[in-house]
A and B are shown apart, each in its own frame.
Chain A
């Protein structure tokens, strides 16, 4: 992971790609149809979902199979509060959703992180996530198996005036800004001191234990941040899809961010985002091929996971590094 001068061109290429993607998302309502805009909103939320999951997976090295529990906790908290106390501002619902997700992560973490090694943690988070799924499905207040329907897009108070997000594409732009802020926060955590400590912890927990680091606590902190931001993403999605069902707490929903990470590349911050976009693109492109769609999506996943162990982003940066290296060598030959 050396960052010499010769990688600056690949870095700027990556920055250009990020900027281009942001531009596409920002201008989408101007040129795309409503169905695509809706899908793009979901993808933005799923990007936050996957990147916050990757804080545990790619950075800290823990595979949680119950991430959907946090997503659902955020979505249901926000939606339920919107019904129970509609007079409160929408941002409070979102924050409450995030807080409930973080608290849930704290509770699940206390139990599951007792066994942080491999399969134990995966199974414990899976079991506790399914517990949340079952509880939601059996709760009258949360609409049992039918979920909560008719969730309103909010009117938010901006001090200088109110902004009605139910009109036109306004909620889409609100999602764009909110997801941008959350990704910025995650980027800061990933690249800051805490992120480096988590990476060191993944590489060799024993070693930093010998430096006097409380490994369990930092795993817990990573889990809480990951769960909290995932829950915020869930809180944002409820008014967008306007219906939430227990399906978003199901283990198969927990598998989504894992797929995005493997597809895009878990070792890079933007890997899961690429994974989410490519996955949605594949699904969209094959949506009319009934029965074959899953085969194609699954086959594509298989190819990527087997042929590109670093995911799409990992493979691209490897290629870029090889290309710049070759280019440099050629330059040297010419000058010699």
Chain B
């Protein structure tokens, strides 16, 4: 269980997130939807402890994460794929994935690289390709695969579909959904692509200027078209 309560986040003196409360059961999928600059990335980084100054509580199974270094949160089972992917250009896909298995983990034995490649069939053909030889989409897929390897309890993805070809987006959606259900891995997904987000998650929250303006299931979201109108359309 990942619980975020009364979270405020700041960069320097700018107040970015206002009073965010959100909880994710094990294996649950929640999308954070909103336009650019509304605080989606900041929310994920706050959970990881990577950047913004934060007040409020962030608990994993009742244990307070706030104040813990990012590497400790990672060991406890939070995996973040940042927007810029950060694949090692001179290592192969398999090596990039294997790297994430070196850290200590409190969530059990990491998956083997072979298992991970089975999760992402597209990567299987690319296993021996070096990072710099990959397209943006393939890099993104490799970054997601790398984040899954240590068997996280909650996977945090920051706009994984941004700038990717539709074909890759579709297959990535399938794979993430399958892993979530089969491995009971929680997913917190910051995304602007509503269709992709709908495919991967059951619930969503809509952020507008740092505040949650809607929280509910996708069916409820569809039942309130004015939300989409007011907070998501440009």
Interface residues of A, Cβ cutoff 8 Å to B? 1-2, 200, 203-204, 206-207, 209-216
Whole-angstrom distance between the Cβ of A210 and the nearest chain B Cβ: 5
| Chain B residues positioned under 8 Å from A209 (CB to CB) | 50, 69-71, 74
Whole-angstrom distance between the Cβ of A117 and the nearest chain B Cβ: 14
Contact A215 B50 (CB under 8 A): no
Contact A2 B90 (CB under 8 A): yes
Is B125's CB within 8 Å of the partner chain A? no
How many A-B pairs fall under 8 Å by CB? Answer: 48
Contact A210 B79 (CB under 8 A): yes
A204 to B100: give the CA distance in the assembly, Å: 14
A200 to B69: give the CA distance in the assembly, Å: 18
Q: Which residue of A1, A2, A207, A212 contacts B103 across the interface (Cβ within 8 Å)?
A: A212
| Chain A residues positioned under 8 Å from B50 (CB to CB) | 206, 209-210
Q: Which residue of A1, A204, A210, A216 contacts B80 across the interface (Cβ within 8 Å)?
A: A210
| Chain A residues positioned under 8 Å from B124 (CB to CB) | none
| Chain A residues positioned under 8 Å from B72 (CB to CB) | 212
A210 to B50: give the CA distance in the assembly, Å: 9
Q: Which residue of B48, B79, B86 contacts A207 across the interface (Cβ within 8 Å)?
A: B86
Chain B residues touching A, range:
20 to 34
Interface residues of B, Cβ cutoff 8 Å to A? 48, 50, 69-72, 74-75, 79-80, 82, 86, 88, 90, 99-100, 102-105, 147, 150
A209 to B69: give the CA distance in the assembly, Å: 9
Contact A212 B86 (CB under 8 A): no
A203 to B150: give the CA distance in the assembly, Å: 22
In the assembled complex, 9 residue pairs joining A and B whose CB atoms fall closer than 8 Å, in A order, are A1-B90, A203-B88, A204-B86, A207-B86, A210-B48, A210-B79, A210-B80, A212-B72, A213-B102
Contact A211 B86 (CB under 8 A): no
Query: Nearest CB to that of B76 among chain A residues?
Result: A212
Check A211/B99 contact, CB under 8 A, given A1-B90, A2-B90, A206-B50: yes
| Chain B residues positioned under 8 Å from A210 (CB to CB) | 48, 50, 70-71, 74, 79-80, 82, 147
Query: Nearest CB to that of B104 among chain A residues?
Result: A212
Closest 9 A-B residue pairs measured CB to CB? A212-B103, A212-B74, A207-B86, A209-B70, A212-B75, A212-B71, A211-B100, A209-B71, A214-B71
- Point out which of A203, A207, A211, A216 has the most chain B C-beta atoms below 10 A from its C-beta: A211
A211 to B48: give the CA distance in the assembly, Å: 11
- Point out which of A200, A210, A214 has the most chain B C-beta atoms below 10 A from its C-beta: A210
Contact B150 A212 (CB under 8 A): yes
